Structure 1
Amino acid sequence: MEAPPDNDVLWARSLHFTHRDGSPGLAGVSLGVREGEILAVGGPRGSGKTTLLRCLSGLVPAHRGEIWFNSAPVHTMGLMARERLRRDRFGWIDPVPTLVPELNVWENAALPLMLRGTSRRRAKTAAMEWLERLDIGDSTRRRPHELRQAERQRVCVARALAPAPTVLFADEPTAPLYREDRVQVLRTLTTAARSHGITVVLATHDADTAAHADRTVSLLDGRRVKTLHLPPVTETEGRATCSLSA
């Protein structure tokens, strides 16, 4: 078995995954992600981006292939070990914001820290820092149902950054946002990652979003391809996304 490179915090070889309906999700994808790197995974919808992030993070096991995190074999870990890894070392941002309805904004942002055993006071301080940086600090005592979808997504970004994960997986993290909001949130996310040494794996079908990364790998039909032209997301598309889901 080939050992992963020392400077790769994540390393995957020949990943295969098939969906329950029999359609291929990944077909032999290999890649490495260096420590502190912001890597964009580009491709159109249905190309395998989300499936790749879910496999790399241990959320679902690949059907074949190897995944290593800091030289630890994720592909041989059991369910509980993968859950601990995601709780303690990984962060995740979904394209659709999901928050605990019974908790207010700062409690949602602080939740991963409190689940790790961090005191309520320290967890709140860390959460408030990121909520302020993401311009949602004036809503810390509101409940999720009182927020617009774009505001809820900012809370989800703060929740992912507050625990300072080793690796942050971001699956179309700015999809619900207007173009202006998208730029600000992406700038905050990438600046925070670089200043805190957080490795980011960012799935996107948008060329402007991918431009914030250090490097891009492209997928098409579950395979890596050398060249892929990603379309920019138009202002009209961003407004439609927000208005339909607000």
Structure 2
Amino acid sequence: MVAPPDNDVLWARALTYAYGGSPALTGVSLGVPEGEILAVSGPRGSGKTTLLRCLSGQLLPDSGEVWFNSAPVHTLTPLARERLRGERFGWIDPEPFLVPELTAWENAALPLMLRGVRRKNAKHMAHEWLDRLDVGECARSRPAALLQAQRQRVSVARALAAEPAVLFADEPTAPLHAADREQVLRTITTAARSHGITVLLTCQGSEVESLVDRSISLVDGRRSGPAVAPDAEGNAACSVSA
């Protein structure tokens, strides 16, 4: 097992994963430099979400390696992976999952407060991001009183307020109307660039192409088109067609 190149904050080699014997990922390799905004595109069922879940430590690959900086995520204990996700990673689902008993600002501030940030400071940061996402007026409302699009914006604010090292955004604008998608995507990418956040963003179409640094595509759990696979030493080896 060899550590990845120093300039890659995330690095994966030959990832495979199957659900009940049905392959979801087959030999996927990639490296993501610090601060890069990477789009992972492909049709439904292509393995995009599974890839993000393996990279973030939510799933352990059946084989292959995942590294975050110098930490081999694939060999960490469940507690260590949970701590890594809580302290260094952010996640946005395609559907909003909020704590129903908490207000919008409390939901947005929750990751900060779990880290020990003072309630006053966490509240200020939560309000700042809710305002940026045009749901500041909903700050004192609970999720049941919000529209789905508003709840999704709150979940985006929750991920950004924590200023993670890496943000995994799994089709974050799926519940939004087309007119709102660009604004939310621009908020995510602008925040990433201003705060040095590395972003992996899944999508089905080409709406993010002008906002990201690079795109890769998955088809049936494989990299589509020419790809550069890391070799056993962690260096770029040869171009392969997946």
In terms of fraction of residues, the more helix-rich structure is: 1
- Distance in 2, matches of 1:2 and 1:115, equals 33
The TM-score, its normalising length taken from structure 1, stands at 0.90
Structure 2: runs of 5 or more not aligned: 227-242
Partner of 2:19: 19
- Distance in 2, matches of 1:64 and 1:195, equals 35
Partner of 2:233: none
Structure 1 counterpart SS, 2:99: coil
- Distance in 1, matches of 2:44 and 2:209, equals 14
Give the CA deviation at 1:194: 0.3
* Percent pairwise identity: 68
- Distance in 2, matches of 1:70 and 1:219, equals 24
> Where do 4+ consecutive residues of structure 1 move more than 4 Å?
none
Q: CA RMSD in A?
A: 0.9
- Distance in 1, matches of 2:73 and 2:113, equals 25
Matches within 5 A, 1:62-141: 62-141=61-140
Structure 2 counterpart SS, 1:152: helix
Partner of 1:236: none
Partner of 2:7: 7
| CA-to-aligned-CA distance 1:79-138 (integer Å, 9 cap, x gap) | 000000000000000000110000000000000001111111011011111000000001
- Distance in 1, matches of 2:99 and 2:208, equals 28
- Distance in 2, matches of 1:213 and 1:133, equals 20
- Distance in 2, matches of 1:61 and 1:117, equals 28
Residues paired across the two proteins, number: 226
* AA at the equivalent of 2:173: T
Give the CA deviation at 1:210: 4.0
Say yes or no: does 1:195 pair with 2:189.
no
- Distance in 2, matches of 1:114 and 1:8, equals 29
Contact 1:42 1:210 in 2 (8 A): no
Give the CA deviation at 1:212: 1.8
In terms of fraction of residues, the more strand-rich structure is: 2
Partner of 2:239: none
The TM-score, its normalising length taken from structure 2, stands at 0.92
Structure 2 counterpart SS, 1:209: coil
- Distance in 2, matches of 1:210 and 1:107, equals 33
Partner of 1:241: none
